[in-house]
Amino acid sequence: MNEMNITSAKYMAHSETGENDAIKATIDGMGYTVPLAIGNAHYAEIMRQVDAGELTIAPAEGG
């Protein structure tokens, strides 16, 4: 029932640790930095689409 149109998703790495700490995503035509947080509706929908095989998150640059 959340019909977000997510056209791109890419992990972003922490500048010091190199670990993924956010996702850069285009959602309904708008760019967002999305935290890796369960309660965030954007993150929940990204992961739902990943689990459903509808979306792939590109690795972070240098990752």
| Residues making contact with another protein (CB under 8 A) | 1-3, 12-16, 21-22, 24, 28-35, 37-44
Looking at the Cβ atoms of 13 and 50, the one nearer to another protein is 13
Q: To the nearest whole angstrom, how small is the minimum distance from the Cβ of residue 49 to another protein?
A: 15
Q: To the nearest whole angstrom, how small is the minimum distance from the Cβ of residue 44 to another protein?
A: 8
Q: To the nearest whole angstrom, how small is the minimum distance from the Cβ of residue 53 to another protein?
A: 19
Report the relative pairing of strands 20-27 and 30-35 from DSSP bridges.
antiparallel
Strand partners, 48: none
